[in-house]
Amino acid sequence: MESPIFLDHHSTTPIDPDVFSEMIPFLTQNFGNASSSHIFGQEARRAVEKARVQVANLIGANPKEIIFTSGATESDNLAIKGIAESYHRRGNHIITTQIEHSAILDTCYFLEKLGFETTYLPVDKYGMVDPEQVASAIKPNTILISIIHASNEVGTINPLAEIGQIARQAGVLFHSDAVQTIGKIDVNVDHLNIDLMSLTAHKVYGPKGIGALYIRRKKPKTRIKPQNYGGGQEGKVRSGTLNVSGIVGFGYACQIAQTKMQKESERLIGLRSRLYEGLKEQIDFLHLNGHPQKRLPGNLNVSIEFIDSVTLLEKLKNIALSTGSACSSNSSAPSKVLTAMGIDDNLARNPIRFGLGRSNTTNEIDFVVARMVEEVKNMRESSPLYKLMGSEVESSPPNRMKMVN
């Protein structure tokens, strides 16, 4: 194929052309500041409130519970720090997991320097959190539980509804980073018993630089301490001039995702299965990372023995893949997520993450399988370790682990 193939939709997604068209007027003629009282400002404000409804509808929230931010990293920081400061007199203990995004982990590390205590829960071999371990970790001074909805690396979906019920019964606030799940699987804050949820636009075919934080207003009312001060925008929770065009794009992207989600999910599961079956039938010693069923529709994460994943991806020109989270792509250390899952260090250093999306086709998947099989064969021909396996490798059947849809 002449055109590059993009299979890294967990890192970002292209803006939907219809989303971009919706944004253009607010970059040109409708350029008002949403805080201004004149006609230009009023028009911008109406557009913002319309988008707030669109984002809220995607997650089953009240529009008043949506606070716009610059993206998921800010939303995560605002949620964790904001709750820590608001509820520090009640307690100083936070529960999270070893597989969270760095925006969560680094924020917890920062708070520990200020006297807060964090419990980092382990995960099972699939990268899933055990609700019983969450319950066991709760203490009298626990004020917040933060569990990622779906791993941005291996795609495993956590049982948030069960965990949320545990948090609710214990009177502990529950936050989730849901940037990988909104618009891809059904997400409803009430069904999941969520009190705070971090969102971003660029993972759902919207623009970069715009996100949101859902903050529950009732049962329980969630109080959060602002992390920046100024004009008092967004209910005085997040001051700053609103990114009107970005907000408009985010809202419309959510509306589109809501209409396309079910059919697109089914299509991506089919493509993912085709990709996995093609690889495991032709590449021996291929390991599936993550849960075989309870995973994001467009996610496939594998490790291949006797193969350096960085070198392999360099050889796969015109195919955009990653070895893990875009925020840690420059690290040569083993994946923290795979290490937490108990994966061998060699395999944990060499994952390959496929992120399938709306633009991907069957022809692209077949081409990627063929190219990967070709390059793996070439690399193994010069691998002394693989050659030492000799006839043992040749007589071993391919990994037959079945991915059930």
Q: Which residues are marked as active site?
A: 327
Please give the Cα distance from 135 to 167 (Å, whole number).
8
Q: How far apart are CA 216 and CA 183, in angstroms?
A: 20
Rounded Cα distance, 41 and 33, in Å = 5
SS3 of residue 8 by DSSP: strand
329: left (phi over 0), alpha (psi -120 to 50) or beta: alpha
3-class DSSP state for residue 72?
helix
- The answer to whether 64 and 217 have CB atoms below 8 angstroms apart is yes
184-187 contacts, C-beta under 8 A, 24 or more apart: 184/257, 184/261, 184/264, 184/265, 184/296, 184/297, 184/298, 185/150, 185/157, 185/261, 185/265, 185/296, 185/297, 186/261, 187/58, 187/59, 187/60, 187/149
Interatomic CA distance for residues 192 and 195, integer angstroms: 9
Cα(209)–Cα(361) distance, rounded to whole angstroms?
28
Give per-residue burial for 192-226: e unless 16+ CB within 10 Å, then b. bbbbbbbbbbbbbbbbbbbbbbbbbeeeeebebeb
Residue spans of beta strands (DSSP E) within 280-387: 286-288, 299-304, 319-320, 351-355
Count CB-CB contacts under 10 A for residue 272. 23
